[in-house]
Amino acid sequence: MNLIDISGVGDKTLSKLNDLGIFTVENLIEFMPNSYIDMTKEMSFQDVIVGEYALLRVKINSVTKPMHRDGKVSYVRAVGSCDGFDISFIWFNMSYVSNVLTNDEWLIYGQVSMDKGRYSMINPSYDKPGSKKMSGICPIYPLRGKISNSTFNKIVCASLKTHVCENHLNKVFNIQLAYNNVHNPKTIKDMRTGQYNLCMYQLVRDLLAYRISRVGMLENTVRTYDLPTDIENTLPYKLSISQKQTLEDILADMTGAKCMNRLVLGDVGSGKTIVAILAMGMVSKCSSGQSVMMAPTEILCRQHYENAKKLLADHDLSVGILTASTNAVERAETLKNLLLGKINILFATHSCINESVLFDNLKLIVIDELHKFGVEQRAKLLLKGRSVGALSLSATPVPRTLAMCLYGDLAVSNLYKRDDAVSNIKTYVFHSNKLYDMYGYIASKVAKGSKCFVVCPRLKGIDKTDVLSCFNMYDLLKKDYVKSDNIALVYGSQKADEKSAAMAKFSSGQVQVLVSTTVIEVGIDIQEADTIFIIGSDYHGLATLHQLRGRVGRDGRPSECFMHVRTVSTPERIESMKTCSDGVRLAEIDAKARGYGDMIGTRQSGVNIYNKYKVIVSIDMIKTAKGIADSIDIDSVDAIAMTKDIIRANKTVLN
Q: Which CATH number characterizes residue 408's domain?
A: 3.40.50.300
Q: Which of 6-10, 152-156, 318-322, 544-548 is least confident?
A: 544-548
pLDDT in tens, 610-638: 678 887 777 677 778 888 887 877 666 45
- Domain limit, last residue, from 580, 612, 632: 580
In a domain, 287, yes or no: yes
Residue 86 DSSP one-character state: E
Same domain, 390 and 454: no
In a domain, 198, yes or no: no
Same domain, 244 and 290: yes
Per-residue model confidence (pLDDT) at position 640:
47
Is pLDDT of 605 > 50?
no
- Domain limit, last residue, from 580, 596, 623: 580
pLDDT in tens, 524-576: 778 889 999 999 998 888 878 988 998 898 878 899 999 999 888 888 889 99
pLDDT classification of 58: cutoffs 50, 70, 90: very high
Residue of higher predicted confidence among 80 and 633: 80
Q: What percent of the chain has pLDDT over 70?
A: 85
Classify residue 651 as left (phi > 0), alpha (psi -120 to 50) or beta: left
In a domain, 245, yes or no: yes
Taking Cα atoms as reference points, which of 484, 489, 487, 537 lies closest to residue 512? 487
Same domain, 470 and 501: yes
Which residues lie closer than 8 Å to 98 by C-beta, 6 or more apart? 63, 64, 65, 66, 76
Q: Please, are residues 470 and 517 in contact by the beta-carbon 8 Å criterion? A: yes
Which residue range forms the structural domain that includes residue 316? 229-415
pLDDT in tens, 308-335: 998 888 888 999 999 988 999 999 999 9
Per-residue model confidence (pLDDT) at position 637:
40
Q: Can you say whether the dihedral through the CA atoms of 98, 102, 107, 108 is positive or negative? A: positive
Is pLDDT of 505 > 60?
yes
pLDDT classification of 405: cutoffs 50, 70, 90: low
Same domain, 374 and 511: no
In a domain, 448, yes or no: yes
pLDDT classification of 220: cutoffs 50, 70, 90: confident
In a domain, 4, yes or no: no
Collapsing DSSP states into helix, strand and coil, what is residue 452? strand
In the predicted model, what is the mean pLDDT of residues 512-521?
90
DSSP for 363-426 reads EEEEEESGGGS-HHHHHHHHTTSSS-EEEEEESS--HHHHHHHHTTSSEEEEE---TT----EE
Three-state secondary structure readout of 489-551: EECCCCCHHHHHHHHHHHHHCCCCEEEECHHHCCCCCCCCCCEEEECCHHHCCHHHHHHHHCC
Q: Which of 6-20, 54-68, 453-467, 504-518 is least confident?
A: 453-467
In a domain, 193, yes or no: no
Is pLDDT of 26 > 60?
yes
Same domain, 383 and 487: no
Taking Cα atoms as reference points, which of 178, 160, 125 lies closest to residue 8? 160
For the chain, helix, strand, coil in percent to 5 are 40, 20, 40
Per-residue model confidence (pLDDT) at position 462:
74
- Domain limit, last residue, from 519, 545, 580: 580
pLDDT classification of 446: cutoffs 50, 70, 90: very high
Same domain, 271 and 252: yes
Taking Cα atoms as reference points, which of 224, 384, 234 lies closest to residue 308? 234
Nearest-angstrom CA–CA distance, 590 and 580: 12
Per-residue model confidence (pLDDT) at position 211:
61
CATH number, position 73? 2.40.50.140
Same domain, 298 and 432: no
Same domain, 405 and 448: no
Nearest-angstrom CA–CA distance, 212 and 11: 42
In the predicted model, what is the mean pLDDT of residues 261-289?
86
In a domain, 440, yes or no: yes
Per-residue model confidence (pLDDT) at position 52:
81
Is pLDDT of 260 > 80?
yes
Residue 94 has a CB neighbour count (10 Å cut-off) of 14
Q: Can you say whether the dihedral through the CA atoms of 95, 100, 104, 110 is positive or negative? A: negative
Residue 249 has a CB neighbour count (10 Å cut-off) of 18
pLDDT in tens, 182-213: 999 988 899 999 999 998 888 888 777 656 55
Same domain, 404 and 435: no
Nearest-angstrom CA–CA distance, 640 and 563: 47
pLDDT classification of 351: cutoffs 50, 70, 90: confident
Same domain, 559 and 446: yes
This prediction has a pTM of 0.57
Nearest-angstrom CA–CA distance, 295 and 274: 14
Is pLDDT of 649 > 80?
no
Per-residue model confidence (pLDDT) at position 527:
82
* Phi, psi of 608, rounded to the nearest 5 degrees: -80, 115
pLDDT classification of 169: cutoffs 50, 70, 90: confident
Classify residue 440 as left (phi > 0), alpha (psi -120 to 50) or beta: alpha
pLDDT classification of 32: cutoffs 50, 70, 90: very high
Chain mean pLDDT for the chain: 83
How many domains are contained in the chain? 3
Nearest-angstrom CA–CA distance, 469 and 354: 31
Same domain, 249 and 310: yes
In a domain, 618, yes or no: no
Same domain, 279 and 380: yes
Is pLDDT of 407 > 60?
no
Taking Cα atoms as reference points, which of 25, 2, 355 lies closest to residue 179? 25
